[in-house]
């Protein structure tokens, strides 16, 4: 009995290890039946060929293993960290509102992932970004209108899954109306049930209708549904996904090492509670030792033994994971570069009149990205990168193009822009969410960083005289 439950417990786990090669202890776990591996930046750092080789090693150890990654395009990319993603992100696609283009982008992302052996993409983001101060969603969202977001979520899902890579709409029941990052704390969405139904749930319903193979939970408390437990650990919230939205696929937990899930209880206990609530595949988080996987397995086995977790619930989760993988799909060529750049230009929001930028210097204001985005290349290659608290070395005799991310929610960055604006021409390029700005400087809002977005900004700056 214990051996059988251990096997089931392994099958529902999706941890991430450190490095670009398969560790021996993880190989042994995969051979024993570990459900899969989630890639993070440390796993893909050596490029596509090395990632494909790593996937081959994982599947050799367990041919049915899920290989997952967060590849949303735009700001969130694990395959493209040294240069901006080659495809537009969600906010820019939502601003253009061309569903065919959104589907083509999803198809290209899927083709790239299939080529390196990934079988599950933890995307698209189905959150409605109704709070402009949201520190973790922002440009990952297709926008603020639920119906429009729903259309793009469905289109991106169709494109991705046409390549044989499963989609995972996230973060159920909606992370868009929060001003707290669930990586660091436990957010709350204080809305009534009607608002939840007509705003947060609309894109998830569209994803289910589009056939998404998976839905990811969020570590947020929705008092209108369950005032005590985050969604990942709430049978009430997850039952709504099954019973109201009629979703019959795999419910994937957001990473259980996040504070919103495990800060007060630890990852093993959070894993037991997530399974009992209705999650099927547990994302554990990046760079985890195999010993932690064993701790989680032991906790699940003990919970079944003492009756806290029903064995049939565990078996049902494992069975859902076993049939999630899609058959191989069609190969896809890259989306038209010119079409994407033209779309990116159309997505730009240009406020004010750009001054003469002849001889302008590109200055990037360094701020810490949220954990979901991570440390990746963004924006134009700068001539100078500065700390907002100590902007040393900024020349005072040339125009400046100042690159920022989410400046509207960073007082120190707004203060820096005020200081830099004295006595010179300055243009602000906002690569984050286009939040309110009353500083008086001309501003270009890109709705997220990407290769096409960079090309679009370069085009606008050149029209104002910038050359490099």
| Strand locations in 178-311 (E) | 214-217, 250-253, 281-285
The sign of the CA dihedral 185, 285, 131, 415 is positive
> Which residue in 193, 96, 198 sits closest to 145, CA to CA?
198
Computed on alpha carbons and rounded to an integer, the radius of gyration of the chain in Å comes to 22
Q: What DSSP string runs through 236-248?
A: HHHHHHHHTS---
Provide the H-helix boundaries in 278-310. Answer: 290-305
> Rounded to a whole number, what is the largest CA-CA distance in the chain?
76
- For residue 75, indicate whether it is catalytic: no
All residues at 6 or more sequence positions from 327 whose CB lies less than 8 Å from its CB, including other chains: 164
Residue 49's Cβ-side half-sphere holds a number of Cα atoms within 13 Å equal to: 0
> Which residue in 321, 433, 420, 414 sits closest to 363, CA to CA?
420
Residue 57's Cβ-side half-sphere holds a number of Cα atoms within 13 Å equal to: 17
The span from the CA of 279 to the CA of 269, in Å, is 14
The span from the CA of 361 to the CA of 466, in Å, is 9
The span from the CA of 185 to the CA of 258, in Å, is 8
The one-character DSSP state at 135 is: S
Catalytic residue among 70, 226, 254, 280: 254
The span from the CA of 465 to the CA of 253, in Å, is 49
The DSSP bridge partners found for residue 429 are 403, 444
User: What does DSSP say about strands 13-15 and 400-404: parallel, antiparallel, or unpaired?
Assistant: unpaired
Catalytic residue among 183, 219, 257, 406: 183
All residues at 6 or more sequence positions from 214 whose CB lies less than 8 Å from its CB, including other chains: 120, 166, 167, 168, 169, 249, 250, 251, 252, 281, 324
CA distances from 353 to 145, 232, 316, 347, 427 (A): 29, 47, 60, 17, 9
- For residue 183, indicate whether it is catalytic: yes
| Residue bearing tokens 């214990």 | 2
Active site residues: 183, 254
């Amino acid at each position: 009995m214990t051996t059988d439950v251990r096997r089931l417990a392994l099958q529902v786990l999706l941890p991430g290890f450190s490095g670009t090669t398969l560790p021996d202890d993880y190989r042994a776990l995969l051979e024993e039946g570990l459900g899969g591996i989630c890639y993070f930046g440390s796993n893909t750092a050596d490029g596509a060929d090395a990632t494909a080789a790593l996937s081959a090693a994982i599947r050799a150890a367990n041919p049915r293993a899920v290989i997952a990654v967060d590849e949303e395009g735009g700001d969130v990319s694990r395959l493209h960290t040294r240069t901006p993603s080659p495809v537009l992100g969600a906010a820019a696609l939502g601003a253009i509102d061309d569903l065919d283009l959104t589907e083509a982008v999803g198809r290209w992302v899927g083709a790239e992932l299939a080529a390196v052996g990934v079988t599950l993409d933890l995307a698209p983001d189905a959150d409605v970004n109704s709070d402009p101060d949201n520190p973790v969603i922002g440009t990952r969202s297709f926008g603020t209108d639920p119906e429009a977001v729903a259309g793009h979520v469905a289109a991106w899902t169709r494109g991705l899954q046409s390549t044989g890579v499963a989609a995972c709409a996230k973060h159920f029941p909606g992370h868009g109306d929060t001003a707290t990052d669930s990586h660091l704390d436990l957010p709350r969405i204080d809305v009534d049930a009607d608002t939840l139904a007509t705003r947060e749930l609309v894109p998830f319903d569209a994803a289910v209708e589009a056939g998404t193979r998976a839905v990811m939970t969020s570590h947020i408390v929705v008092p209108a549904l369950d005032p005590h437990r985050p969604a990942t650990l709430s049978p009430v919230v997850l039952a709504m996904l099954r019973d109201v939205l009629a979703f019959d696929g795999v419910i994937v937990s957001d990473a259980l090492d996040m504070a919103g899930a495990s800060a007060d209880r630890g990852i093993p206990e959070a894993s037991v509670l997530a399974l009992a609530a209705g999650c099927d595949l547990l994302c554990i988080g990046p760079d985890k030792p195999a010993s932690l996987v064993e701790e989680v397995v032991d906790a699940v086995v003990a919970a079944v033994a003492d009756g806290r977790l029903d064995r049939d619930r565990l078996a049902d989760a494992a069975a859902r994971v076993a049939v999630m993988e899609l058959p191989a799909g069609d190969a896809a060529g890259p989306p038209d570069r010119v079409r994407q750049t033209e779309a990116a230009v159309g997505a730009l929001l240009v406020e004010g009149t750009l001054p003469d930028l002849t001889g302008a210097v590109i200055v990037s204001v360094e701020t810490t990205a949220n954990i979901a985005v991570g440390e990746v290349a963004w924006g134009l290659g700068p001539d100078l990168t500065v700390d907002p608290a100590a902007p040393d070395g900024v020349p005072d005799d040339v125009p400046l193009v100042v690159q920022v991310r989410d400046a509207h929610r960073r007082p120190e960055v707004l203060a820096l822009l005020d200081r830099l604006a004295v006595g010179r021409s300055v243009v602000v390029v906002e690569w984050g969410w286009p939040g309110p700005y009353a500083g008086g400087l001309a501003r270009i809002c890109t709705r997220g960083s990407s290769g096409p977005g960079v090309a679009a900004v370069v085009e606008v700056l050149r029209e104002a005289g910038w050359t490099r």
